[in-house]
Amino acid sequence: MIGKKLEQLLPKKYLKEGLPELKFVSVKEVVLPWTRFSNVDTVLGPEMKSTGEVMGIDSDFGRAFAKAELAAGSVLPRSGSVLVSLGPKGKMEALPVIKDLINLGFTIVATKHTAEFLREYELDVKEVNKISEGRPNVVDIIKNRQVSLVINTPSGKTSRADGYHIRRSAVIYNVPIVTTLAAARATVEGIKAQKSKDWSVQSLQEYYK
């Protein structure tokens, strides 16, 4: 990418023996100040609206991710309720994530179709109205700070009305939100790390010595 070969960049011993095994994990996170962009959806697209980047480092991924989120201004919850609204394609993949959240002590609140799906697998879930189904609805419980985390995976044009309002409300009322299952899995690992209270703080010099 920079016009040089690896043999020009790496010490010769690494070319023969391979790179050394790292004893830490680094997670880089972008800072996305959605509150500064009026009416912009939080679903990422090709245009970058980042105002900076931060990094978290620790002995495992969960702790490193939690540190990166904290540095980016997003504090992962340790308790409370999680609002879940899933697209049809991601429901099966989301099951382990939802189970982990329940095991961590969170209450699951879901829209109708998501709630019906989760109940098929005998998961305890509370149902909440979509915007068109009456009140209190998904926006109301975010506005009233009755949830501490939102998981919303878009599923195309049909989900834009409610999904957009869910995501924008989460931004306005400063409720952490994830819009992909990969991010949801990472968030669960970060929450586990936070609840363990086993944190380490070292300088970059200590990590790289």
The CATH number of 25-196 is 3.40.50.1380
Sheet containing 177-178: give its strands across.
126-127, 107-110, 81-85, 149-152, 177-178
Q: How far apart are CA 52 and CA 17, in angstroms?
A: 36
Q: How far apart are CA 44 and CA 167, in angstroms?
A: 12
Mean pLDDT of 62-82: 90
Q: Which residues pair with 127 in a beta bridge?
A: 110
Residue pLDDT, tens place only, 182-204: 999 999 999 998 888 777 788 88
pLDDT at 162: 74
The residue with greater pLDDT, 122 or 88, is 122
Average of per-residue pLDDT values in the chain: 83
Nearest to 27 by CA among 52, 51, 63: 63
Specify the pLDDT at position 36: 58
Enter the tokens of residue 118.
């989760």
Q: Which two tokens stand for residue 58?
A: 């620790």
pLDDT digits (tens, 9 = 90+) for 133-190: 888 888 899 999 999 999 988 765 544 577 778 888 888 888 888 888 999 999 999 9
Q: What angle do CA 123, 135, 166 make, to 5 degrees?
A: 65
Parallel, antiparallel, or unpaired for β 53-58 and 126-127?
unpaired
Report d(CA 61, CA 190) in Å as an integer.
Answer: 8
pLDDT of residue 43: 59
What is residue 8's predicted lDDT score, i.e. its pLDDT? 84
Q: What is the pLDDT of residues 4-60, one digit of tens each?
A: 887 888 888 877 787 778 889 999 988 766 555 555 555 555 566 666 788 999 989
For the chain, give every domain's residue range. Answer: 25-196
State the pLDDT at residue 158. 43
Q: SS3 letters for 2-34?
A: CCCCHHHHCCHHHHHHCCCCCCCEEEEEECCCH
Q: What is the pLDDT of residue 177?
A: 87
